[in-house]
A and B are shown apart, each in its own frame.
Chain A
């Protein structure tokens, strides 16, 4: 497989699946993607969502809302660009 083909395949994956890494993925991007994936998984798994709701003594809908809101900027603002 030649390099051009590999690259185009990678680009295809990156456009199709949000969060697919590339050679220049920064720590921030990686962290943000991981956090968003984690939160999405929490919301999808109802037992986990209700487990959190019990610990926080909130309604499940409130916990879900909080987690969804956190997905907007889970790791704070992005770092200043250096280049």
Chain B
């Protein structure tokens, strides 16, 4: 087995976010890190939308990011601290849309180690040095650190030194003259300090740092008085008063003459902190509640008045400031109120009342599926392609997301028409119009013209012939319009003067292709006539006509580049299964240049110029797209000098003949292809994408540009005219989500009724009943509490104590997305596992088994009792009814249906249960698993068990002896997070360090075990403290994120099977098995060249990254292979020569791998 890894959707959790002018223009941009990927986001301050400009995989762990600017410059550079043991400085090149490495300095070993720096980064605000920064204007740069010296505590057995160990705030100064760092100042701070925020210095402010610690914020600076202010806490009856409050993130915002800080607590509350200062002396710090947003991994405030919140879990949000919280009645606390006479701060708590947003307004959201805890690929709603069902999010913000392959479409208008239209066009009135003015709709016997304004209205005085169907519409020359209809061509001048060209007697126009200067028509019988706009603006017919050998089925003319009068190529699709390229040069007018035979009759042709961003300058490539009647789309490159066709890419789109339409999407020319579902071929970030749209089938379409919508589409579906846009380019999945209450853990699907059963469990949370009880104990009655309830999706559930659990079981109908049943567990029980099954006694009745445990504590591990609940599905699978509850001694972490019984992993015991009247009956047990069973699979009598720490174990059930025997296990320990049985002998799994592996039982051994009914061979003699036999490792690969689900599936109808995985931070990817040795060799060599020619940007060695814990085995990284498209032309050719191919062939092979998958 040899696998090809490809990321379908990169993890979208953000661990770092920075702000800067990375393009070197006045516009502020964001750079976010998705652990191993760096992405440039450009907020549009007029619309409030955030657009992704560039995303680049760096094949390393990004631990810190910082932006810096050289003194006097206007462009920001990016510093990356990663696991590479190197510091890398990147520059964004807006012309080529790439990140370029400016500098790389090696200072230590690779990996995230204690002794190698890289976790924290800070830059001097004037861009002279990098470390943790204190702003000192143009004095020598000073950096501040929080430090603990543990050497004393390590030596003292009495623990006295530990008590005396202090957390120190230390200033380091870089002497620019001597180029030397000195320890300048050190002072002890609160031992619970966790974060420093630099206060602006020099001309902007008093300089110094804010030390954030549990419950307090302290201002410190050399020679300055220490000021302390408590962090206001939420007014909450159920508050745990012993629990401290931490600041988790902060940002300083400098304005013209002042500055303020926004700090965020771990509950998500934002505080505005201001400093009262005279010259360099700070007199007072003030803090007040600002608003509540989701807990952030990074905050950025834009000069234009926006706040970007990179959430640690769930969607990232983009807010607009409506106010700065200056003049509201929220209480403000000041440090001067909290000082005793001797300068020690009071031990007090201050409170505020949380409320919905008042100062901020949500304007945009970026999807993040993190944390993604479980997923399955299923087709529950009977669609063309299967859907991915994923459990995402945490606590009250969690969701069940249903992902469908396709771009998300935003519908803007739908208007019914009197009859079924056959075609639609949009047109401008003059060449200089920025927007479309008319929509022209053609029916089988009439034409309707609609004018686009505030509303869309019918107009009649346009000069268009209304009593005939239309074949084509074009804005011609400077300010004329053209209508082509079966009997002729109507040329409408700006002054409404009409010139007609009539088709010769007995022959009609069947097809036409136009651009702003040139018109080609095909008459019945296959004759082509060519027209051109002459200098006087009138349309003149060429003296040459050409008779094609067969009927003309479609025509396309090359788009006219700006400032040109004529283009050279015409493509003609004939019903003898050929596409011919003709010349439009005046000397060789309509003479054939080349011809390509194809597999079916061409239905539609479109030629577009796509920019070739990577090769030099503004060069573009001319593509001919051919839609065939058998539903296949071909894309070939048309050589601009010879007219030869080469490099054909093929893709089956659907059962219907493919119609193509030229569009403008994502800022570039694009092609909309309509088959049994619409597809879009567009260019984004230097790659051509072909994605389906999540929309109904369309019959005809045209591009639509108006003030409100620059890149829209107007299309016909049945008798309706639809206008829509596409906003989220590059996101191959679109999602619908169902809100959940607590963190979802796992789910199963009832195979008969197709309902989804989800278990949700939150630690440290009051269940709704416990909450009521606790409130009652405090003297609140129910109605009071209801009134004051804040939306938990924003403010979170009330925090309880460790060891308190809230948990529920929910049934969701996948087609409507509604919750049909939910049951909250009582008595501090928490659900950990779930299975759907039937029992041998009554094969038709479906049951749900839920493994729970009561009073669980995480560290040290303990519980009062475990339980297995058995529920019966009622109401067509929409409801549940408790049958009974069986106590067990440990937490049941894994449950599975097994031969009409229940197989349960209870702690380290593997048991088979059967259904009894009062409880489950234990039938057999095995105690051969070392730690804790977390996953279970079975095929026939073979059981695969995943242990939390000791990888997978193979067991077989011996019915004659009613015994489970573990006969094989893995050679290496692995902390299993998920696993899947790929076939009878093979298992794939993921571990908590982000590795993926495939293990297989040797074929011969597998046969021997199966024939061994007595189990003597299976039991054998234990080997190396484990089972008698060992598994072979087939593949090993570091994905870089914890895998949370694995499934063998086929995503394309009739496509090959592959392994789909989801990862914790919201990523979706696949492993495709190779079929030929040639392909393996090819990609292995390509990968090797890519490592050399395009080493990862953060400085990490690609091979050692993919082999983080165990060397890579049997897997090729498709993501680095796809970066081939980003190489310069020279390097592309060089690698191609090494591989004995052309660059186009290599690109095709890379693209084919992706098409095979999705």
Interface on A for B, CB 8 Å cutoff?
A: 17-19, 32, 36-37, 39-41, 43-48, 50-51, 53-62, 65, 68, 71-73, 77-81
Q: A58-B266, A59-B248 are in contact. Are A77 and B83 (CB under 8 A)?
A: no
A47 touches B1064 (CB 8 A): yes
- Nearest CB of chain A from residue B316's CB, rounded to whole Å: 14
| Contact pick for B1065, options A32, A47, A77, CB 8 Å | A47
Cα separation A50 to B1044 with both chains bound (whole Å)? 13
B194 touches A51 (CB 8 A): no
A61 touches B249 (CB 8 A): yes
16 sample A-B contacts, Cβ–Cβ < 8 Å, listed by A number: A40-B112, A41-B112, A44-B83, A44-B113, A45-B994, A46-B13, A47-B1042, A48-B993, A55-B858, A56-B858, A57-B762, A57-B765, A58-B266, A59-B266, A72-B162, A78-B155
Cα separation A55 to B1041 with both chains bound (whole Å)? 16
Q: Which of A32, A44, A48 has the most CB of B within 10 A?
A: A44
Q: Is the interface of B mostly helix, strand, loop or mixed?
A: loop
Q: A46-B15, A50-B371, A72-B162 are in contact. Are A19 and B115 (CB under 8 A)?
A: yes
Cα separation A19 to B109 with both chains bound (whole Å)? 15
Q: Which residue of B lies closest to A29 (CB)?
A: B154
| Contact pick for A57, options B743, B1040, B1063, CB 8 Å | B743
- Nearest CB of chain B from residue A41's CB, rounded to whole Å: 5
Q: A46-B61, A56-B764 are in contact. Are A78 and B246 (CB under 8 A)?
A: no
Cα separation A53 to B150 with both chains bound (whole Å)? 26
Q: A57-B395, A58-B764 are in contact. Are A50 and B157 (CB under 8 A)?
A: no
Q: Which residue of B lies closest to A32 (CB)?
A: B154
B115 touches A53 (CB 8 A): no
User: B113 — which chain A residues lie within 8 A by C-beta?
Assistant: 37, 40-41, 44
Residue B394 CB within 8 A of the other chain: yes
Cα separation A29 to B548 with both chains bound (whole Å)? 88
User: B112 — which chain A residues lie within 8 A by C-beta?
Assistant: 40-41, 43-45
Cα separation A36 to B753 with both chains bound (whole Å)? 51
Cα separation A45 to B112 with both chains bound (whole Å)? 7
User: A68 — which chain B residues lie within 8 A by C-beta?
Assistant: 194
A60 touches B156 (CB 8 A): no
Q: Is the interface of A mostly helix, strand, loop or mixed?
A: helix
Q: Which residue of A lies closest to B1042 (CB)?
A: A47
Please classify how large the interface on chain B is, using the bins under 10, 10 to 19, 20 to 34, 35 or more.
35 or more
Q: Which residue of A lies closest to B148 (CB)?
A: A72
Residue B35 CB within 8 A of the other chain: yes
B194 touches A44 (CB 8 A): no
Q: Which residue of B lies closest to A43 (CB)?
A: B119
| Contact pick for B313, options A39, A50, A61, A72, CB 8 Å | A50
Q: Which residue of A lies closest to B994 (CB)?
A: A47
Given contacts A40-B113, A68-B194, 19 further A-B contacts (CB under 8 A): A18-B114, A18-B115, A41-B111, A41-B114, A43-B112, A44-B63, A44-B83, A44-B118, A45-B61, A47-B1065, A50-B1065, A51-B1042, A54-B743, A57-B743, A58-B764, A65-B246, A71-B150, A72-B165, A73-B150
| Contact pick for B156, options A41, A71, A77, CB 8 Å | A77
Interface string of B492-514 (1 = CB under 8 A from A): 00000000000000000000000
Residue B708 CB within 8 A of the other chain: no
- Nearest CB of chain B from residue A36's CB, rounded to whole Å: 6
Q: A50-B1065, A58-B764, A65-B194 are in contact. Are A17 and B158 (CB under 8 A)?
A: no
Residue B370 CB within 8 A of the other chain: yes
User: A45 — which chain B residues lie within 8 A by C-beta?
Assistant: 61, 112, 993-994
User: B743 — which chain A residues lie within 8 A by C-beta?
Assistant: 54, 57
Residue B937 CB within 8 A of the other chain: no
Interface string of B877-904 (1 = CB under 8 A from A): 0000000000000000000000000000
Q: A41-B112, A47-B1064 are in contact. Are A77 and B159 (CB under 8 A)?
A: yes
Q: Which residue of A lies closest to B149 (CB)?
A: A72
B763 touches A72 (CB 8 A): no
- Nearest CB of chain B from residue A67's CB, rounded to whole Å: 11
User: A79 — which chain B residues lie within 8 A by C-beta?
Assistant: 157
User: B35 — which chain A residues lie within 8 A by C-beta?
Assistant: 46-47
Cα separation A50 to B994 with both chains bound (whole Å)? 13
